[in-house]
Structure 1
Amino acid sequence: MQNDAEAPQVQLLQLTADIVAAYVQKNAIPAAGLPELIASVNSALSGLGQPVEATPPALVPAVNPKKSVFPDYIISLEDGRKFKSMKRHLGLLGMTPDEYRARWGLAKDYP
């Protein structure tokens, strides 16, 4: 009799065996390729219950950073809006000027 801790592992092995058997019935595969097929199916099934690591979307500035500073205003890379001073805008976004520069890879002397 198996204990509760072994049940998921046994079920995984049974599913792996069923899938590999069904695949081999319909597809010609050399005997040397079976271990790789079994490992591949087992790995795929093992990962089904795991959360997928979401990759953060690449940051795309609203405007080119080189074209965001003008004598009369500065354009926010976050939303493309024009401002005379960015401090209040960054505060509303929950960022400090240093965090903003780090987020967009800007130089320390960027206004």
Structure 2
Amino acid sequence: MDDNTSPDLLMLTADIVAAYVSNNSVPASDLPTLLMQVHGAFVSLSATPAAEAGSEIEKPTPAQIKKSVTPDALISFVDGKPYRTLKRHLSVHGLTIEGYRGRYGLPNDYPSVAANYSASRSALAKQLGLGNPRKKAEPAPEPAPEPTMASKPKRAGRPRKVAEPA
């Protein structure tokens, strides 16, 4: 049996038409037409994946690739809109930057961030001092030697009780 008359499609068509007829009044003369329409819809739905598999995504020309990279934005080949960075936009569409490059035939050095945006982020990071190794703490200056006292050092603790005359 070919795909148009497979038992599954015929059974599915019969079930759907039977359910429709049980809830709606349909003249007997319209039943063959209804069956053919429902069956035709299933056949066209089952044939759709083969047609989609044959259609390829159009690869951009080298001129289009060059034009898509501007200093302030990258023009997406998915929707044609400008973006400063493609990562979030591509993740919404279920792609990674590598998958995007492969899907549209882009070179491996195709940027994922606009040049001006990258430069401004880099300048901000340098201004904040990021990316530099930490400086070692300066050694504490040695304290000046305290002058030594010639007298006896003071005793620590509580002063002695003064003796009372008897």
TM-score (norm 1): 0.48
Query: Computing the radius of gyration over CA atoms, which structure comes out larger, 1 or 2?
Result: 2
TM-score (norm 2): 0.33
